[in-house]
């Protein structure tokens, strides 16, 4: 089965006066069904909304586009006029040319792998505040769990602890590109270790670049040496206790088990 390519550039046609593709889908449905009530259902509009769209188009057009005899809520006798059919035909031709234009642009984009990688990453949606892309440098598989080392673009490493089954199902191996997800509340900020060592595998040191203070909690952004940034959600009391400010040095600490890995489908 052929894999469908992702369309990185998309767009709808919108004409002056706010007339858009939805109107022409409605006109096509009216021509097909002969009923504005059924046409409205086919394009996901209410009966009232469909009529308002048709009335606006009729008012803006030099000639009537849609004519309807009295038929109550069923919209009996609704049909396109000759002018309406001509306008719909012209729009379909424009739509086909527009699609050919978009196809050509997307084909050109696919030739640039760096742009493709970036756009694919931007498509992904996840609730985790911290999202990094990196390359797996090592996978240490144990009896039940596995430790995966992911190198970020700046050289920092993130360690993820996932199950052995996850390693197999995701096909995680050295050299693979993965996305790393970490929720901001799971990141602890440390400014002074006071001679102690922490058991958490991930300890990334950087400079506070931004602080977004809320009513109870604050989001602190730490910029790492390699250019990536990691966000931590801490209480306002902790913010004051740590004396954090833009330019402060801080270490983002989080457990390997707090890391979620993802791979491209």
Torsion of CA 240, 195, 152, 188, to 10 degrees: -30
Least confident stretch, 94-108, 211-225, 232-246: 94-108
Q: What is the overall mean pLDDT for the chain?
A: 84
Instruction: From 56, 38, 58, 34, select the one nearest 46 (Cα to Cα).
Output: 38
pLDDT by residue (tens digit) across 125-161?
555 789 888 899 999 998 889 999 999 988 899 999 9
Distances (CA, A) of 246 to 84, 135, 215, 220, 250: 62, 30, 19, 9, 10
Distance CA 150, CA 135 (A): 5
Please provide the size of the chain in residues. Answer: 265
Any residues with CB less than 8 A from the CB of 245 and at least 6 apart, and which?
A: 208, 211
Residue bearing the bigger pLDDT, 27 or 68: 27
| Per-residue pLDDT tens digits for 63-118 | 888 887 655 444 457 889 999 899 889 888 888 888 888 788 777 766 766 655 55
Q: What is the mean pLDDT of residues 179-183?
A: 91
pLDDT of 29 strictly over 80: yes
Is residue 2 very low, low, confident or very high in pLDDT (cuts 50, 70, 90)? very low
Query: Cα dihedral angle (256, 257, 259, 263), rounded to 10 degrees?
Result: 110
Per-residue model confidence (pLDDT) at position 143: 86
Beta bridge partners of 231: 221
Q: Is 160 helix (H, G, I), strand (E, B) or coil?
A: strand
Is it the case that residue 53 has pLDDT exceeding 90? no
What confidence score (pLDDT) does residue 238 get? 95
- List helix spans (H) across 44-199: 47-60, 82-110, 113-123, 164-170
Residue 260 has pLDDT above 60, yes or no: yes
CATH 1.10.10.10 region(s) of the chain? Answer: 21-110
* Better pLDDT: 40 or 102: 40
Across the range 194-223, mean pLDDT stands at 94
Residues 6+ apart with CB under 8 A from 188: 200, 232, 234, 252, 253, 254
CA pair distance 149, 136, nearest whole angstrom: 6
In 3D space, the residue among 183, 64, 177, 191 whose CA is nearest the CA of residue 129 turns out to be 183
Whether 262 contacts 178, CB under 8 Å: yes
Within 10 A of 88 (CB to CB), how many other CB atoms are there? 20
pTM: 0.57
Return the DSSP state at 247.
Answer: T
CATH level 2 (architecture), domain 21-110: Orthogonal Bundle (1.10)
Residue burial 212-244, b: 16+ Cβ < 10 Å; e: rest = eeeeebbbbbbbbeeebebbbbbeeebbeebeb
Q: Which fold has domain 130-262?
A: OB fold (Dihydrolipoamide Acetyltransferase, E2P) (2.40.50)
Query: CA dist 213 to 127, 210, 238, 245, Å?
Result: 20, 10, 12, 11
Task: Give the model's pLDDT for residue 68.
Answer: 73
Please check the confidence at residue 261 and state whether its pLDDT lies above 50. yes
Mean pLDDT of 157-180: 92
Strand partners, 220: 211, 232
Residue 220 is predicted with a pLDDT of: 95
| pLDDT of residue 58 exceeding 60 | yes
Task: Check residue 91 and give its pLDDT.
Answer: 86
- Model confidence at 194, pLDDT cuts 50, 70, 90, reads confident
């Amino acid at each position: 089965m052929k894999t469908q390519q992702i369309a990185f550039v998309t767009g709808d046609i919108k004409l002056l006066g706010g007339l858009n593709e939805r109107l022409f889908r409605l006109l096509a449905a009216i021509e097909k069904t002969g009923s504005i009530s059924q046409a409205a259902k086919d394009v996901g509009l209410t009966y009232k909304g469909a009529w308002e769209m048709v009335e606006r188009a009729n008012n803006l057009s030099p000639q009537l586009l849609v004519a309807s005899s009295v038929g109550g809520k069923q919209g009996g006798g609704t049909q396109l006029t000759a002018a309406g059919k001509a306008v719909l035909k012209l729009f379909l031709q424009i739509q086909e040319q527009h699609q050919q234009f978009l196809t050509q642009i997307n084909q050109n984009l696919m030739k640039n792998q760096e742009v493709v990688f970036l756009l694919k990453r931007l498509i992904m949606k996840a609730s985790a505040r911290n999202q990094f892309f990196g390359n797996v440098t090592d996978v240490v598989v144990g009896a039940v769990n596995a430790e995966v080392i992911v190198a970020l673009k700046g050289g920092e490493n993130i360690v993820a602890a996932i199950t052995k089954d996850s390693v197999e199902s995701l096909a995680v191996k050295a050299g693979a590109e993965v996305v790393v997800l970490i929720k901001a509340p799971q990141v602890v900020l440390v400014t002074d270790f006071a001679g102690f060592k922490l058991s958490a595998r991930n300890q990334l040191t950087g400079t506070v670049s931004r602080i977004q203070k809320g009513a109870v909690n604050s989001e602190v952004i730490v910029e790492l040496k390699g250019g990536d940034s990691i966000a931590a959600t801490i209480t306002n009391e902790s913010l004051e206790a740590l004396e954090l400010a833009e330019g402060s040095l801080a270490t983002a600490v989080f457990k390997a088990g707090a890391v979620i890995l993802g791979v491209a489908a």
